Structure 1
């Protein structure tokens, strides 16, 4: 989970999308090298910026013109959804909602994702909460101005604006029930966009797909080898501590070390909506689920939850969970 306009240390992300038709995808290695004696279809590549990160999209397809069309469609879809969910575009639907406190006839993607978000809020007992954006703004403002980390009354005043239960959906209308309440969907929107791009490529006939937008979603046909996806810890190099064979589904890892606002206090970007403080329970949490939307939301929420609570939610969501505990060198399987 990240927020716009970070004032602390934000690790540089690289978004990658690799997709192929099954005839070109007998093994993931075909996306990188030709098998002996095999004829590898051409690779169409796009490089640019998406979701505020360096991005690369590669499509392996015998029809280069069609591949170029698919590249442009995928890029256009990411840009369209950024226009809905972004916190750093003044004209995005989410910014307009935050500024006015109400948005009528909101884009369908926003109402759908917000409805899903509120379901995860309820499922996690409020650990997942999109109304924490005022906390980010409070801390970012103080740190940017060189002031002490807010505590006491100033923190409590902002916490009074944080409560997912006061976000109201009525058909296509969205209303924020408290003055100064503001939303961030950065703990789930990357997963949602990952799912949309993956589904679009699948619907176009590509059945061997790996989309990595911070959250990973994979598709692999029966005749292909599964994708290998590493679960990283919280070190700067993001060294994989375990590797999964992924044929279908998604993986997301969340860690407070992903965006550190203040190194001295350990303040990071994953806020506990009950206390206003940062996540410290786990160094990192990885979730495997059917969709990137689910994996993204749960990995964020689980950073704030104990093992027993994680297991309860994971069982309902049919998710697998790994956590890196303080003082540990390896991941612990929780569910």
Structure 2
């Protein structure tokens, strides 16, 4: 077991810090998944860099199944990645209106739904704020009040108008950022393809946004919950089947300005990044899209309101980790957790 883990870590070790970190998570995840007695099922895996992250697909099937699943993810990337100028979302952001595919419209409609149930804590119109904080990271300074207020004036999911296959942004300068939901949706589309091809057991993991279909080699899929301040440790292990799992945290993407860490998750109401409370949120939900969006929304809501929201939703569970390793869990989290280290 130890040799296998070391080999996996070596296999996925890139020079870039981001890739090294994601590689470790992937290696740890696979190591946890393959713990225990072996079954008769023969699993195969493949990993690619897609959607600005590491995407790994493990199936009790064929390499053709895996390639079809990757193709489904790539399709979503080329529809919704706002850093590729030709995508539907990029055109919408530039022109303020665009005719969109069914997939892109569906993601926007789902995003609006999650904006409503989180009371605006999840909002895909944060694009201007995301770009502002990216610039602040490069310039190593905090935004001025005027810069922040200007970006905030362009945020608000109620200013998205959908008419048939056409979506319009009602304020000039608005920008959609699907970073908090598109990966989860892409994972679900990959799982959809695998199911159509008759695959019963699979795991699709897009940088921590994942869906666990059926069972793994040792029964239910085992997922390690990342320690938010020690990236070589995990907080606990959960066991899941036929569920989406997603984590949002401040420990990977952040800017250091004036010696202080500013995470990448932004509060749409204030324009400021969320700091330390919480440090990470992991959600278990019926699908990866829901888990992805709620992980971000709950992160912005914080431990108290976030936990209230999780407990109010059917078939949704979560764990919230805050500064000082203060851990709170939803009422049904215990039925998934099989080990806690903190």
TM-score (ref. length: structure 1):
0.82
8 A contact 1:242–1:331 mirrored in 2: no
- Residue in structure 1 matched with residue 254 of structure 2 by the alignment: 260
User: Structure 1 residues 297 and 54 mapped into 2: Cα distance closer, same or farther (>3 Å)?
Assistant: closer
8 A contact 2:201–2:216 mirrored in 1: no
- Give the drift of 1:153: 1.5
2-side partners of 1:98 and 1:119: how far apart?
A: 20
- Give the drift of 1:54: 3.7
Question: Does the residue aligned with 2:313 lie in a helix, a strand or coil?
Answer: helix
2-side partners of 1:202 and 1:73: how far apart?
A: 11
1-side partners of 2:126 and 2:166: how far apart?
A: 21
- Give the drift of 1:142: 3.3
Summarize the alignment of residues 178-327 of structure 1 with structure 2, pairs less than 5 Å apart.
178-213=171-206, 214-220=208-214, 225-237=219-231, 239-263=233-257, 264-280=259-275, 281-314=277-310, 315-327=312-324
- Residue in structure 1 matched with residue 335 of structure 2 by the alignment: none
8 A contact 1:310–1:334 mirrored in 2: no
Summarize the alignment of residues 156-175 of structure 1 with structure 2, pairs less than 5 Å apart.
156-175=149-168
Summarize the alignment of residues 94-133 of structure 1 with structure 2, pairs less than 5 Å apart.
94-104=89-99, 106-133=100-127
> Deviations for 1:177-235, whole angstroms, at most 9, x for unmatched residues?
11100010100111111111112112211111111112121122599711111122312
> Deviations for 1:57-114, whole angstroms, at most 9, x for unmatched residues?
44443xxxxx23222211211111100111221111111111111012x011000010
1-side partners of 2:56 and 2:73: how far apart?
A: 12
Of 47, 65, 70, which aligns to 2:65? 70
User: Structure 1 residues 225 and 309 mapped into 2: Cα distance closer, same or farther (>3 Å)?
Assistant: same
- Residue in structure 2 matched with residue 50 of structure 1 by the alignment: 50
Structure 2 gap ranges (5+): 1-16, 27-32, 332-342
2-side partners of 1:223 and 1:327: how far apart?
A: 36
Question: Does the residue aligned with 2:84 lie in a helix, a strand or coil?
Answer: coil
> Deviations for 1:260-279, whole angstroms, at most 9, x for unmatched residues?
12252322110001110011
2-side partners of 1:139 and 1:29: how far apart?
A: 40
8 A contact 1:241–1:331 mirrored in 2: no
User: Structure 1 residues 312 and 224 mapped into 2: Cα distance closer, same or farther (>3 Å)?
Assistant: same
- Residue in structure 1 matched with residue 147 of structure 2 by the alignment: 154
**How many residues in Structure 1 have an aligned counterpart in Structure 2?**
304
2-side partners of 1:58 and 1:292: how far apart?
A: 16
User: Structure 1 residues 47 and 173 mapped into 2: Cα distance closer, same or farther (>3 Å)?
Assistant: same
2-side partners of 1:113 and 1:119: how far apart?
A: 10
2-side partners of 1:277 and 1:142: how far apart?
A: 12
1-side partners of 2:217 and 2:60: how far apart?
A: 17
- Give the drift of 1:46: 3.9
1-side partners of 2:171 and 2:330: how far apart?
A: 37
User: Structure 1 residues 13 and 93 mapped into 2: Cα distance closer, same or farther (>3 Å)?
Assistant: farther
- Give the drift of 1:317: 4.2
